[in-house]
Structure 1
Amino acid sequence: MQFKSGMEVVYRERRMEVLDASGDTVTLIARTDSGEIYECKATELTLATDRPLPLAPAEASAWQEWDQYAQAARKILAAQTPAEKKQRYEESSEQLGLSLRTMQRKVRQFRIQGTVSAMKPEKSGRRTGVRLLLPKVEEIIATQLNERWLKETKPSLTDAIEHIHKECRKFQCPLPSPTTIRHRASQLDEYERIRRREGAKAAKYKLTPMTGSFEVWKLLEYVQIDHTLADVLLVSEFDQTIVIGRPWVTLAIDVKSRMVVGVYISLEPPSAISVGMCLAHAILPKSDFLATLGIDGEWPVHGVMLLVHADNAREFHSEALQNGCTDIGIDLQNRPVDAPHYGGIIERLIGTFMGKCRLLPGSTQRNVVERGDYDAERDARMTLSAFKAFFVNEIVRGYHVTRHRTLDVPPLMKWRELAAEHNAGRPLPSGYAPWQIPVLFYPFAMRCIRRTGIEFGGRFYWADELTEWVGRKEKCAIHFHPGDASKVYLRGPSGAIVVALHTKGDTRCIAFEELRLQRQRNAALSEAPELLAYKDAGLDFRDANTNQAIASTKAAHRAAAIQKTREAQTRDVPLPSSSTPPQSPASTVLVFDRDIRDFGTYRKSA
């Protein structure tokens, strides 16, 4: 088909207008405000006669007038002879109040497109796509936009405008206005602009159609799972003046009914443990869980799902997680790399609940801009247990009973409807009981059974069934729920699962991570500067007191030794008597000498 200027065509699912057609190459302009220019082959185009654009309100009011033009054009084109056609031209022009030339143009437009919308009057003024800048200026603009603006660092267009003006002055060309340059930038190919400035992935997801859907026929046939960091700051269970950070939430959703099948909330970052905990929660009945949180509600979802779909994070590739899923018949699959739209259902669910988190005191909002001057840390009030109760309540008595846009009914009603048709999920394989689920998915550590109980996480646990194991050197696998430090699980001497409770009777659902943080805070108290200074002063006093005692004791011992020596020497020397005959001058006498070590002694003297 031969295309002509002014014809409306469809190219790449978009309605455009032909600017020029030469040979097999056709130049098009988009029917949008941006007015992008495209070049393509004529074989890629189709006429837009069967795809009229939606009419604006002003155009709808003028539709009757355009219909009159179209009827007149049909009559003129149906004429058999030139004379008859000339006569109908004159009659139609007179009836419609148009000049003969205008009537001829209307007929030509109708002959090309054959629709009433083709009678729409053309815009007055300069034709769209006409450029009045010098070719050299256009070349400078195109070059500078390509080299300085279409970059991954996303530079400002202002910098490119400055360089364009510099190059124009260099070649003595008239300076284009910043508005003109910005208009040229907006006319660049949208896909290429996003690809160059934001990356191919962003261009693909912004401009590539992603239509279609997949069918799921049964409940728990297809489950999606993912994590997110909640937009709220929590405080400690032990001291509510201490902020302990934002919790991580792991959610799993049944695609068929849109029911939340499992949830796990903790302070630890995502790991294979959090995935396993969420799956264990999804498989088991939830009545006891709701009672623990003090929530009176209905959450009928439980059973072994057929397939779990997750992203490519490392925690979803854990060998232990894979083995646990395989053991009870769960197919754990990962979505294709760089294809987040495959997890769109769980992503939208997470977005819904993060919006709920912004109702809480201490909400961090989505980003710093939205938070503004709000001090989230100052207003933090929710503990981890309180946040769990809030979040689960929003699931059970909020999301599950609210009309879902895709289902057109609340998820709970959809679950009841489908559950009445067939069994919801598969039962556990033969040989498995609900108490074995913790063994499959809960983390474990090896510990010895002592007289004082099982020491784990800085606490002691005990069960009467473990009495006969006391004193054994073999270690046992102690399974634990990271979010509940009130009890641990192990297989007892009889082979059955034994629940060992905290020896001090603490039944609160405190996370092991929070206990660890509390121990760290307690340890930090002993490192306070004032306490360390006080301790150092005590050490100095101890050293001074000890040194003084040592010195005084040494002095006392020295004095005692001198006294003993004097007494001993005095007893050994005979005193002279009157009956003793005088000795000759050459005889030896004893003389007391004080010069040797300050100790008195006698030496012989001639």
Structure 2
Amino acid sequence: MTHSSVLAKDLGTGESKTLRVEMLTPIVEADSTQEQAERDLALYSDEEWAEGQRRLFFIKPLLEKPVRYRADVEEVAKVAGVHFTTLYKWLRAFLLSGHVSSLVPAKAGPRTGTRMLSAEQESVIQSAIDDKYLSEDRGTAQDVVDEVKRRCRRMKLKVPSHITVRARIRDIPKATALRKRGLRDEARDQYQPLRGSFPNANHPYSVIQIDHTPANVIVVDEVSRLPIGRPYLTLAIDVRTRMVAGLYLSMDPPSSVAVGICLSQAICQKREYLAYLGVTGEWPAWGVMGKVHSDNAKEFRSRALSRACEDYQIDLQYRMKKTPHYGGHIERLMGTAARIFLGLPGKTFSNPKERKGYDSEAKAAMTLKELEAYLVDYIVNKYHKNIHSGIGMTPLVAWERGISGSDKEPGIGLLPAPEDPARVQLDFMPYEERTIQRYGYQLDNVHYYDRVLDPYINSVDPKTKQKAKYLIRRDPRDISVTYFLDPADNRYTAVKYRNVAHPAISLWELNAAASRLKEEGLKGVDEDQLFDTVDRLRQRVDDALNATKSAKAARRSAARRPPGTRPAPAKQPARTVAVPSAANDESIHGQKGANDQSFGDDPFAEPITPFSVSLKR
């Protein structure tokens, strides 16, 4: 029995049996005090989100105690300024969900932190703070109080309490105040995190590093088996154990979508993913990580990613400039991946000099799907089972010790697995907000409709008196379907094209069509023109597949279409190139170990498609 299974006892029959962890689900008592279903995390205002984080700050010390006494709760409640029963409600809500969003107030209206002053009074306070306090003159809080009093009397406004004014000053982030008061060095020394230094990476998933790299191998088209170019690989690694946490392989350049898919895969269990790829073996890394460390690229700074990390209490940190050594763990993993590719047909080496005399395109033999299956098999059955020089043991053993413990240190226990992997995947995907019209809604000039939208046509937000906006998510790899968050039950519903005759296309194809129409001088294009252009460009790609000069670009373009819309199969070329088995490949780590496993009879029999999401959340 390993950490991926548990010994369970049937309380009815008394029989004991071994059960896999992923087959278990927690039983929690329904909370009758919960006033409304949890909203999608993207819909909370900044003020609501801040209140949820404030409440987490107070209950966090209690969460860390294995036994919580009423006296402890009452003491914290006094500091928080609430009744101890309210604090118990906060604790119960967070323990049931594990998310910051459960602490966001469910009802609108005045609450702790609500500002009751008029807009004019608030404007006077803010301007006085900017002029007197947040300046290199470094005025005191009393200077601000006096200035507010003077300006309010001049404007014939009621003078706010000095307590209120001082509270506004206390709300200013310390680092911001120091910087604006001319103390930048002090702000940096006191509040800027030491990004990339990991003294607290003391258990599995405490710190995850993530990055991208072009794969040093050329892949071939699924139909023609001819080269289409190098894919991009996104990898995430657990710093403590060196276990690979997640990966994503695509022909598209690095993007926020790649980051989101890789992180959501790292959080979720991977048994179904391995079965889908036809890879045998165990990949027991799952759970919510404490920190994600990345470089400063724009794909790591999307609002969807930042909000998702906040909701899952993931500390998203960025590597400081000119400090490449802070990303050493993921860089070494990228180096390992590069060596893996060196054993494959179609390898491109690391520089042109090494590639001299080797025709990478002529030797290319693996499709993107086959490469993904090979890479996952290698990670699971070789990399995780070979001794890592940095930790003196295999990543798999390091993970098991971190979870189950050893003679020298206790384990942290199994990390909770997400009950709804589809929800995790959605949380890390891009989103848009749209009003609902009689025709439905549109994204990038493409219209979507379903009867579920009817109750919200031309609806108005009662607070702003403006047309209400609703949350929509979509997978850029196939935009034929979007996911509408129905506020009636806080569930996602699949909403497809209004014109069901349109083919499934990727966002990349749609943008390419829009760019072509712009080049042709057309403005104000409509949906039909866009899809006609997509069809036209697809036909050109299909026609170019047999041409010599443009065939490679055409095949790469075809590979970006959604599954099921790619060119029809053609006769396979007579040329065949042997594709190695990852588990039997001895070119990187030497002789095959006793624990190594291999593919089945046909490792590439199953198709590989983007992750699917459930229609209901």
Report the structure, 1 or 2, having the larger strand content: 1
Q: TM-score, normalised by structure 2?
A: 0.43
Report the structure, 1 or 2, having the larger helix content: 1
**Higher RCO, 1 vs 2 (CA within 8 Å, ≥6 residues apart):** 2
Q: TM-score, normalised by structure 1?
A: 0.44
Structure (1 or 2) with the larger CA radius of gyration:
1
